[in-house]
Structure 1
Amino acid sequence: MDKKYTLNRIMKYKVISFDIFDTLLKRDVFSPTDVFIIIEREYNRRFGRQLNFAKIRKDAEKIARGKSLYEEVTFDEIYAEINLSVTEKNILQQLELDVESSLLHSNIEFQYLFEKCLKSGKTIYIVSDMYLPKKFLERILKREGFSGYKHLYLSCEQKAKKRTGLLFTTLCKIENIKCQDIIHIGDSVYADYLGALRAGIRSLHIKRNVYNTLYSKIPDVNTSVDKRSLFSFINTRIPKLANRDQRIGYELLGPIVYSYCKWIHDLYVANNKGGKVLLWFAARDMYLFSMAYRLIFQEETNNEYIYISRKSLRPILTQAVGDLTESGKVLARGKYTLEELIRYMGYTPDDIDNDKKTDLGKKYNSRKLNEYKEVKEVLMSEKILHGERIQASEGLKYLKEHGLFDTDILLVDVGWHGTTQYILEKIQKSKSENLSVKGLYIGCLDGTDEKIGRDNYKAFLFDEQKASSFTTGIILFESLVLAPHGSVIRYQTEGGNVIPVLSEAENVSGFITDVQYGAIQFVKEFRKSILDKTIFISAEMGSEAFVNLATKPQKTELLKIGQLEYDNFYRQKMADPRNIGYYILYPKMFLRDLKYSPWRVGFLYKLFKIRLPYAKIYSFMRKKQGKQT
């Protein structure tokens, strides 16, 4: 809406009349009759019934209108046509008001216009074709910030409708308003625009369906009520956020965070019959999820944000299994020089015993370090062994304090290959064979079943048997949800307590802060909505908008996210190709840079600057190589 144009139009008039629904107020549903489906679901949930309320309610309204001698019917007249007991009808009637109240909220653009009109001394009326009670609507309008208007005119009260022009005629007659002094604003062509013209007054028609989402697919009547309600909830609420980045978080991350937390909770309840299982949210990827979970399930106490990382757990693992070459299994797959391995462990070449010096530039497969005699000898250097014992001792104290050796653990983490679970299981088994660590993951890639066992984890979005386009953006996802603190390097004792020692935080930016704020805002608002109890956000539904960003980014996000840094042994930009001329001269460098780019689809978009199905192209290339991502 062009606010300046609209203001210039309406400020010429002494009296302004506003419509309510889809003008001053918005509903969090795609269609007005979807409200009846939400009521049906809530009623059946509360009372364990299978009442087909949506059909009953629509039929009752049709019958009431057919019997009425007037242009409009009342709420009570509609319910009088429902063939249920008085008690049931009273419950349903109140439930309809409660559901409407939960779904209705202000349209921020028209709140601005409304307030401008008030400040300019205009006389304001609110005019609506509606069967809901006047007192109910007055209460909702006041709650949403609409007060100071002179009177609310409803078709059910006046027995006249806007559509025929009679309600506008009634307004002008009762209030003694000259037709040339008033303009009406509303979304319906027939009721608000043509109806006003029939009464001889001016009208400003506004668009009913304004789509504010950035990456969500617009639903239609054939889309499930769950999906179209989620879309409408987001679409009507994101204009209230301060900027585009917050809207990205609200629309793309919010539904994933929310649906994943609900999924976790269901599995936690199923696995915690004895009440002793601990829910661990692993730092740093689960920072946002831990915060959201506590907002949604405020009564639960057996969950904790646990400060662990593969790096901080590594020395505890090697001490638990008695083999320093296990350090290689903590690293990402690949080949590393001996110096890189030593420095990753927190040591320098000077810490190697003099009689064990070797070629530090030679590369070794991180998964097969136990096969290299020279690697074993270097890792047995006195300073390294001493340092490992100290780090492991402090780390074991931390894990003990947080219950690893006392109870079963459900580990909440991104997953991917299940490495953290593998490490914790090894450490736990070194102290107790009777306990377990099981994973609840966003998704798992190839090799997870072999590493931790298919029965020892659950995956929300994808696993080795279930593919998902989400895998195109897993590192992008990590970057957006990462905690605003550094990674856990080790542990130390201070004041009798073992605390984590953190590295300097990376990627702390206004963009990430705003995205995460938006995601949490979604959680806060959705948990208070009736939709929380009446629609189901599946994993696929919750992640769809994010997948669209990961595979078909718009220019704004491509530029912002492309410059974020990702640290996986080396720090690099998410999507930062050189110029295309360089790659023409050095084609092998193109393949190398693409391979090591954390967000490859973004890399290709930025490089070629044309819209092609890069996700499908890259997926095809990977399948040819026999790899999952």
Structure 2
Amino acid sequence: MPRKIGRQLWDAAVASGSTIVITSDMYLPEHAILKLIEKHRYTRFDQLLLSSSLMKTNKSGTLFTHLLAEYNLSGSDVIHVGDNPKTDVKPAQDKGITAFHLPRSETYLWKNTQYKKLFRGRKPIESLARSTMYSMVAKRAFADPKNVSKDTLFNSDPFNIGYCGLGPLMFSFTHWIREECVKNGQNDIYFLAREGKIISDLFEIMEDYQNTGVRHTYLYASRRATRIPQLFGFEDIHDVAKAVVDRSATIRSLLENRFGLFVDAETVKKARTCGLASTDSRISERNMSNVMALLKLLQDDILSNAKIERENYQAYLKSVGFEHHGDPTVVDVGWNANMQGALSKISGGVVNGLYFATLDRAQLWSFADLKVNAFLRNFANITKDSPILSNRLLFEYMLCDTTPSVKNVTKNDEGMFDPVFVDSTEAASRNSYVSQIHKGILEYALDYLENFGTEAFELCNDKEVSQSILNLFLSDPARGDATLFEGHSVEDLFSGSEGIPLVKNSISSPGYWRAGSATLANPRPKKKIAKIQKVKPLRTKLVLAVATPVLSRYLAPKQASELREDPDAFFENARHPVNINIGKLAGIIS
């Protein structure tokens, strides 16, 4: 996985017209290294010198001696760039060569105070799965020395939440789905909206690399869209009404979002006859019996609407093949598997489920002869020991697609089915953040497969490793990362909640994410004020080291002197296209 700064330095060397020689202390044969170089498109070089071919090494300095003799050069004629100060820099300098140390991305990651908590004093080499994951993270999040964080996991960047935190875990989860489908002959799977969208996208990326032949479909579904069609009598109405209700939920929100009714003057009148002051009153234990009485009065309207929505949804399921390929399997993040049960009831057949995790209440569907299986934990009754399960709403918030929740499905004039979305209060800022998170998740998968091919599927099987970064973020976030979710709220219209702040800068009244709120509420540590010194970046130093002796041959003495003594002024005043391009490569002019 090439580093951006490495590519920039390479391009600068090529542009200078200098002879380029690649050296390495490497046990692999030359043909293997040439294949690797070609794969990453580093093709414009003059020679490859390997210790495995010459029996000489950078570390001992003999490889540098060989290089100088072969090209009849003195040390001052050569610039060497390497990532190891002991084997690249010091031995080269001992031969009089100008040597620059370009630290590996992993070096910056190992110095990060957050990632140090995951290493417990050791570098991540305990397992191949662990080392490959951290190598991926380092090369993406710590590739640019000028823009690396010393105390956050994600450098306050939502893309990095997706790439470094969720990417490894969701890759591992999606691979598990594929394995389960092949192992159990589940050849017809349906990814449920909205969390299922990112999982579906990952599944398709993996299928492009290694096709399983599993038929997969993205299915428009939601608690609202699947629960109303399964209402056949007042007992069903009673059960849906008694499901979790948020303490801020009103009677109006219950009727509209859970039962699909429009609250008009007649509905308000019926509410008053049942002893309810207003449909805008909040639902509580004290007035629940009155609410049930109102639902009894509205039973015919509720069931009539349910029949219409059921017939439309059954036709939609039939149009996507839900009833024609054996026992369908739904894929979702999970928890109680209620949509699996609802789809089974609506379709009149067995529906299986594959989930990230489920809670103990999901076992009810298992007792009803529906197969329920989960990646992280199945039927969990204790969640406090899992940062992900104890922060489920935040986990869902990051995975949930940017399209609004599905209200129901209708048939258009062409006989096609269209989803009807609920009116959402979700802010545009949430969609912008989540889009970046999802982009990071998908790019992790693409990078992982590009670097390791189908072997990536064997490397990602360690679920403890794949969730380690996300677990640390959820349980002990750095301030810079926690602030990403300030001003964000999670809504749950089905339960009547219109917005729970994810984090709040308050200890007495924290947001949903307690660890994030605690981090924000703690006073900021005082920072030492350091003297600011203008230091040229490594890239500038390297480009100037290559370009100065070359350009000086063609410049007037006064210009050559200015280039050596004040390169900033030289390139800012440059007029010749070659000088301008070199100034841009050096980062002096834009």
Give the 3 Å change call, closer, same or farther, for CA 159–380 of structure 1 in structure 2. Answer: closer
2:289 corresponds to 1:289: no
2:434 corresponds to 1:524: no
Give the 3 Å change call, closer, same or farther, for CA 289–174 of structure 1 in structure 2. Answer: same
Partner of residue 502, structure 2 = 575
Shift of 1:490: 1.2
2:181/2:214 contact within 8 Å kept? no
Question: Which aligned pairs between 1:590-601 and structure 2 lie closer than 5 A?
Answer: 590=509, 594=510, 597-601=511-515
Partner of residue 306, structure 1 = 219
Runs of 4+ residues deviating >6 angstroms: 240-243, 368-372
Distance 2:125 2:214 in 1: 41
Using CA pairs below 8 Å that are at least 6 residues apart, which structure has the higher relative contact order? 2
1:193-218 per-residue CA deviation (whole Å, 9 max, x = no partner) reads 33223333332234344244886534
1:535 is aligned with what amino acid?
L
Give me the TM-score of the superposition, normalised by structure 1: 0.69
Partner of residue 34, structure 1 = none
2:444 is aligned with what amino acid?
F
Partner of residue 265, structure 1 = 178
Give the 3 Å change call, closer, same or farther, for CA 490–533 of structure 1 in structure 2. Answer: closer
2:8 corresponds to 1:112: yes
Distance 1:507 1:478 in 2: 16
Partner of residue 255, structure 1 = 168
Shift of 1:385: 4.4
Shift of 1:355: 5.5
The DSSP-based 3-state class of the residue aligned with 2:437 is helix
Partner of residue 220, structure 1 = 123
The DSSP-based 3-state class of the residue aligned with 1:447 is helix
1:525 is aligned with what amino acid?
D
Give the 3 Å change call, closer, same or farther, for CA 355–201 of structure 1 in structure 2. Answer: closer
Between stretches 130-139 and 480-489, larger displacement belongs to 130-139
Give the 3 Å change call, closer, same or farther, for CA 466–541 of structure 1 in structure 2. Answer: farther
2:298 is aligned with what amino acid?
L
2:2/2:40 contact within 8 Å kept? yes
Distance 2:137 2:316 in 1: 41
2:163/2:441 contact within 8 Å kept? yes
1:296 is aligned with what amino acid?
M
Question: Which aligned pairs between 1:59-70 and structure 2 lie closer than 5 A?
Answer: none
Percent identity, aligned pairs only, is 22
Give the 3 Å change call, closer, same or farther, for CA 136–284 of structure 1 in structure 2. Answer: same
The DSSP-based 3-state class of the residue aligned with 2:36 is helix
2:355 corresponds to 1:414: no
Distance 1:362 1:144 in 2: 62
Question: Which aligned pairs between 1:186-585 and structure 2 lie closer than 5 A?
Answer: 186-208=82-104, 209-212=106-109, 217-218=118-119, 220=123, 223-238=126-141, 244-272=157-185, 278-298=188-208, 299=211, 300-319=213-232, 323-328=236-241, 331-332=244-245, 336-344=249-257, 345-346=259-260, 347-350=262-265, 352=267, 354=269, 357-358=273-274, 359=276, 360=279, 361=281, 363-364=283-284, 374-380=293-299, 382=301, 384-406=302-324, 407-428=326-347, 431=348, 435-450=349-364, 453=367, 456-462=371-377, 463-464=379-380, 467=383, 468-494=386-412, 495-503=414-422, 506=426, 508=428, 509-528=431-450, 529-530=452-453, 531-569=455-493, 570-572=497-499, 574-577=501-504
2:94 is aligned with what amino acid?
R
Shift of 1:561: 1.8
2:229 is aligned with what amino acid?
I
Give the 3 Å change call, closer, same or farther, for CA 408–254 of structure 1 in structure 2. Answer: same
Shift of 1:349: 4.3
Counterpart of 1:604 (choices 489, 502, 518) is 518
Distance 1:458 1:539 in 2: 16
1:61-106 per-residue CA deviation (whole Å, 9 max, x = no partner) reads xxxxxxxxxxxxxxxxxxxxxxxxxxxxxxxxxxxxxxxxxxxx32
Shift of 1:141: 2.3
1:468-492 per-residue CA deviation (whole Å, 9 max, x = no partner) reads 2322322111111111211101111
Distance 2:269 2:246 in 1: 30
The DSSP-based 3-state class of the residue aligned with 1:527 is helix
Distance 1:551 1:212 in 2: 20
Partner of residue 149, structure 1 = 45
The DSSP-based 3-state class of the residue aligned with 2:401 is coil
1:7-29 per-residue CA deviation (whole Å, 9 max, x = no partner) reads xxxxxxxxxxxxxxxxxxxxxxx
1:527-561 per-residue CA deviation (whole Å, 9 max, x = no partner) reads 34144144243322221211111112222321122
Distance 1:350 1:452 in 2: 43
Between stretches 196-205 and 324-333, larger displacement belongs to 324-333
Distance 1:451 1:137 in 2: 54
Distance 2:91 2:474 in 1: 46
Shift of 1:607: 2.6
Give me the TM-score of the superposition, normalised by structure 2: 0.73
Distance 2:97 2:399 in 1: 53
Shift of 1:354: 4.9
Distance 1:167 1:447 in 2: 66
Between stretches 539-548 and 218-227, larger displacement belongs to 218-227
2:500/2:512 contact within 8 Å kept? yes
2:26 is aligned with what amino acid?
M
Give the 3 Å change call, closer, same or farther, for CA 571–600 of structure 1 in structure 2. Answer: farther
Give the 3 Å change call, closer, same or farther, for CA 369–401 of structure 1 in structure 2. Answer: farther
1:577 is aligned with what amino acid?
K
Distance 2:158 2:136 in 1: 18
1:123-173 per-residue CA deviation (whole Å, 9 max, x = no partner) reads 432222234333443343243232333332223443432223222122112
Distance 1:222 1:578 in 2: 38
The DSSP-based 3-state class of the residue aligned with 1:236 is helix
1:248-302 per-residue CA deviation (whole Å, 9 max, x = no partner) reads 2111111121111121122222332xx6x52111100111001111221243352
Q: CA RMSD in A?
A: 3.3
Distance 2:411 2:253 in 1: 28
1:571 is aligned with what amino acid?
E
The DSSP-based 3-state class of the residue aligned with 1:146 is coil
Structure 1 residues without counterparts, runs of 5 or longer: 1-104, 584-589, 612-629
Give the 3 Å change call, closer, same or farther, for CA 493–533 of structure 1 in structure 2. Answer: closer
Distance 1:362 1:237 in 2: 49
1:476/1:574 contact within 8 Å kept? no
1:435-491 per-residue CA deviation (whole Å, 9 max, x = no partner) reads 312221111234332465497311221332565232232211111111121110111
Give the 3 Å change call, closer, same or farther, for CA 379–370 of structure 1 in structure 2. Answer: farther
